[in-house]
Structure 1
Amino acid sequence: MTSRDGSEGSRWSDLERPPLNVVALRRGLVRDGGLWRGVEVVQRTGSTNSDLVALAAKGEASEGTVLVAEEQTSGRGRLDRQWTAPARSGLFFSVLLTPDDVPVARWGWLPLLTGVAVATGLSRAAGVDTALKWPNDLLVTVGGEERKTGGILAERAGEGGVVVGVGINVTLKEDELPVPTAGSLALAGAVSTDRDPLLRGVLRSLEDWYARWRAAEGDPTVSGLQETYAAGCATLGRTVRAELPGDRSIVGEAVAIDGDGRLVIATEDGVQAPVGAGDIVHLRLA
């Protein structure tokens, strides 16, 4: 049997999970004057983020490089959590961005920008409403419950670059989920689980939002990023617990996303505490 990328063998016998078509992806994404300069698909790797950071460090990757894996064995999420899924069951990719015309102080918006772009792209391409849990988890609704179907991890790549990694569960079934609180686009009733158009839709959305943000010199208000993120953030209006470094925690209502992308929590004693790093637990609607 011959796969769409020209390889042969029983590895591609799962017709429900065909391989990505790298030729079509390049044709649809790489163009003169566009952000995406190259698309590479590898069959298996530990982490696309780690691989792309290493390539950037050696000067072997430029802005707009996209690295996609059909399977990740050591995928990483926030707080060094592991992210695993069966081969070809999701979208696992990293991109290299070098926003040298944006003040470094505003680079913290990149993972939130990616969250907005991914949610927008999936809504169009998969027909699934995707919400954002601060700062960068992607939520879908399965059986009336919020479940995490994806996540985003940004890492510095040298002095002038950032590698942003995205993992999205596409066709995982209930018995394949790593934890009961996880979900997938298929379980959320996606109208399409064809990964080729899904990946193209997400990357085109990311290209659009990144261009807006850069044109505004990273200003989250002028670019519309802060307002759009807040509108799609399922954390706002909820009572949450922020688990912070040093075994500290804050409980209160999530009331805003500030100009630095931090989550503002209003506590019972009247304090509004901005949280820039930590794990957020949704407790209940405020």
Structure 2
Amino acid sequence: MPFIELQTVDSTNNYAFSQIHAGLAQHGTAIFAHEQTAGRGQRGKKWVSPVGSAIALSLVIKPAPLALTRQFQLSACIAVSVLEWFKTYAGENVKIKWPNDLYWKDRKAGGILIESLVNSPESLVRSQEPTVGSWQWAVIGIGVNINQDSFPPDLPNPVSLRQITGQRFDTVEMAKELCIVFDRWFERLIREGFESIYEKYISSLYKRNEKVKLKKGSRVFEATVKSVSTDGKLIIVHGVEEEVDFGAVTWMPDA
């Protein structure tokens, strides 16, 4: 797996897409930045990583033979990979918050943003949630808090591996370890199918079988997190059972 190490970049995902458009991308390439100045999380949230504080990493993947309809399988695969790697340092209190945030107890340790390049009838389109076209490339952006002592006050519930363990870590070596773990799980997905990854994902689901507060439109309500469907919808129970797409509901801060 080629490993590109950058000192500073606006976004490792942006760099990855520039490599793809220039015809320089290889399947399995990992792009690591010591400093990321304009990283993005889900729903366009900003994710900045000062020098040496975090893992800011993008993986360039040729998703074939996965079809576009199997996007959640790749999402779950990387979430399980990050979970298993992080647990070796942080212990068993690590969960996946739907769809693919990394949580330690009730605090966020990291997140994942997958962007795809899809060959639509008109052109190549970069999108987080493509629905039509031929899936050409996937760029998996991973951000994990490693060495931070503190965080900006506007972040509600962050945690770093240093805060969990009391130790400092080499972020480059940690990123390389994570790449190896992902490579193993991705090979399993292609070779054996989704079942074992899906089972691991569900067994590691944050707040599973617990009540949480959710917001849908202007309505705030309580629901029990039951599971996640094989195509990535959150299954909740609030009088009735309902499957919701990512973006349709918002987790409230005390959830």
CA distance in 1, matches of 2:92, 2:166: 5
Q: Per-residue CA shift, 1:139-170, capped at 9, x if unaligned?
A: 124xxxx2111000000124311100000110
* Offset at residue 190 of structure 1 (A): 5.9
Partner of residue 194 from structure 2, selected from 216, 220, 225: 220
Tell me the secondary structure at the aligned position of residue 223 of structure 2.
strand
**TM-score, L = length of structure 2:** 0.84
Write the distance in 2 (CA, Å) between the matches of 1:242 and 1:133: 13
1:264 to 235, 244, 252: 235
Match of 2:130 in 1: none
1:190–1:262 Cα change, 3 Å? farther
Counterpart CA distance in 2 for 1:247 and 1:175 is: 30
CA offsets 1:90-138 (integer angstroms, 9 cap, x no match)? 1001011112112221122222211110110122255574211111111
The question of 1:207 aligning with 2:183 is answered yes
Q: Which deviates more, 68-77 or 54-63?
A: 54-63
Q: Which residues in structure 2 correspond to 1:242-281 (within 5 Å)?
A: 242-244=214-216, 251-268=222-239, 270=240, 272-278=241-247, 279-281=250-252
Distance 1:234 1:162 in 2: 25
Equivalence for 1:108: 72
Q: Is 2:49–2:56's contact at 8 Å kept on the other side of the alignment? A: no
Q: Tell me if structure 2 keeps the 8 A contact 1:140–1:184.
A: no
Matched residues in 2 for 1:263 and 1:282: separation? 18
> Counterpart amino acid of 1:185?
L
TM-score by length of 1: 0.76
2: CA distance, partners of 1:128 / 1:172:
21
State the alpha-carbon separation in 2 of the partners of residues 178 and 121 from structure 1: 28
- When residues 165 and 181 of structure 1 are mapped into structure 2, their CA distance, relative to the original with a 3 A threshold, is same
SS at match of 1:155: strand
Does 2:143 align with 1:167? yes
Residue type of the alignment partner of 1:255: K
Whether the aligned pair in 2 keeps the contact of 1:84 and 1:178 (CA below 8 Å) is no
CA-based RMSD: 2.2
* C-alpha separation in 2, matches of 1:122 and 1:200: 13
Deviations 1:158-188 (A, max 9, x none): 4311100000110101256762411100111
Tell me, yes or no, if the aligned pair for 2:215 and 2:221 is still in contact at 8 Å: yes
* Distance change >3 Å, CA 100–CA 56, structure 1 → 2: same
Correspondence 1:148 to 2:108: yes
* Identical positions, percent: 25
Alignment-derived partner of residue 122 in structure 2:
none
Conserved 8 A contact 2:117-2:137: yes
Counterpart residue type for residue 8 of structure 2: R
Q: Which amino acid aligns with 1:102?
A: L
Q: Which runs of 5+ in 2 are unaligned?
A: 120-135
Aligned ranges 1:223-234 → 2 under 5 Å:
224-234=196-206
The aligned counterpart of 1:157 is 117
* Secondary structure in 2 matching 1:234: coil
Q: What runs of 5+ residues in structure 1 fail to find an aligned partner?
A: 1-35
Mapped pair 1:134 → 2:103? no
Q: Does the CA-based 8 Å contact 2:108-2:158 persist in structure 1?
A: yes
| CA apart distance, 1:249 | 6.0
Cα contact 1:48–1:165 (8 A) shared by 2: yes
Q: Deviations over 1:220-256 (max 9, x none)?
A: 22xx011100111113112224445x55666411101
Paired residue secondary structure (1:139): strand
Instruction: Return closer, same or farther for 1:249/1:111 CA change in 2, 3 Å cut-off.
Output: farther
User: CA 1:53–1:131 in structure 2 vs 1: closer, same or farther (change >3 Å)?
Assistant: same
Residue aligning to 1:18 = none
Structure 1 segments of 4+ aligned residues over 3 angstroms from their partners = 125-129, 175-178, 241-244, 246-251, 281-284
Residue 52 of structure 1 and its aligned partner are, at CA, apart by 0.6
Number of aligned pairs? 237
Cα gap change, 1:54 to 1:158, in 2 (>3 Å): farther
Report the Cα distance in structure 2 between the residues aligned to 1:125 and 1:204, rounded to whole angstroms.
Answer: 16
2:49 is aligned with 1:85: yes
| Counterpart amino acid of residue 148 in structure 1 | K
